[in-house]
C-alpha cells in the first residue's frame, strides 16, 4: 500500500489526512471535511452527541462533524446491520432532542453543495465560529 491508496469507507485501512481533520477514516470523510474547509464552514470534528437517557445514556455517541450553527453531520458509508442501527439511533436522538442532523450517503458526495448548501456557507470573506 502506498500513501496514494484510497480506501473506500466500507473497507478497513490506513487513515487519510484532510485539510483540517487530523485523520479521516476514509476518502469520503476527507472529501466532506475538505469541502467544509474550502467553503469556510467552521466545524468541530467528532463532537459528542447530546445525552439522552435511552439513546445516549453514557454520552459515547459521536457525530462526524458539528457545524457552527449546531447542525450535526454524519457520513453513512456502510450498509452492515450494526452500522445502519447506529445511524438510526443517531436519527432518533436528533428527533428526540431537537437537534438538526444531516446524514450524507455515498450518492450525496457528488453534490455536497446541494445537501450542505448556502445555509452553512458564510458570506464572502467571513467565517463562522463555534
What's 92's domain CATH number?
3.40.960.10
Residue 78 lies in a domain: yes
Residue 66 counted as domain residue = yes
Please give the pLDDT value at position 117: 79
Residue 80: inside a domain: yes
Q: Take residue 115 and report the three cell numbers written for it.
A: 445537501
> Would you state the pLDDT for residue 57?
96
CB of 18 closer than 8 Å to CB of 33: yes
Q: What is the per-residue burial (b if ≥16 Cβ within 10 Å, else e) of 82-103?
A: eeeeebebbeebbeeeebebbb
Tens digits of residue pLDDT in 2-50: 333 333 343 334 445 545 545 567 889 999 998 998 988 999 999 999 9
* pLDDT of 125: 40
Q: Is 123 within the bounds of a domain?
A: no
Whether residue 35 is contained in a domain is answered as: yes
Q: What's the domain count of the chain?
A: 1
Portion of the chain with pLDDT greater than 90, in percent: 60
pLDDT at site 49: 97
Instruction: Report if residue 82 sits inside a domain.
Output: yes
Helices and strands in the chain: count of H runs, count of E runs: 3, 4
Where in the sequence is the domain holding 109, given as residue range(s)? 27-116
**Band of the pLDDT at 115, cuts 50, 70, 90?**
confident
pTM: 0.75
User: Does residue 19 belong to any structural domain of this protein?
Assistant: no
- Is position 5 within any domain? no
- Find out whether 70 and 99 touch, Cβ atoms under 8 Å: yes
What is the dihedral angle through the alpha carbons of 81, 22, 112, 106, rounded to the nearest 10 degrees? -30
**Span 53-68, average pLDDT:** 96
Nearest 5°: the CA angle 23, 6, 89 is 60
Amino acid at each position: 500500500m502506498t500513501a496514494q491508496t484510497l480506501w473506500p469507507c466500507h473497507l478497513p485501512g490506513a487513515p487519510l489526512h484532510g485539510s483540517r481533520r487530523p485523520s479521516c477514516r476514509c476518502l469520503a470523510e476527507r472529501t466532506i471535511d475538505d469541502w467544509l474547509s474550502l467553503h469556510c464552514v467552521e466545524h468541530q470534528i467528532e463532537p459528542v452527541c447530546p445525552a439522552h437517557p435511552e439513546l445516549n445514556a453514557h454520552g459515547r455517541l459521536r457525530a462526524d462533524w458539528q457545524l457552527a450553527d449546531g447542525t450535526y453531520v454524519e457520513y453513512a458509508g456502510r450498509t452492515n446491520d450494526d452500522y445502519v442501527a447506529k445511524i438510526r439511533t443517531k436519527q432518533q436522538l436528533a428527533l428526540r432532542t431537537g437537534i438538526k442532523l444531516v446524514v450524507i450517503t455515498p450518492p450525496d458526495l457528488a453534490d455536497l453543495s446541494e445537501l450542505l448548501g448556502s445555509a452553512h456557507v458564510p458570506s464572502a470573506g467571513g467565517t463562522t465560529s463555534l
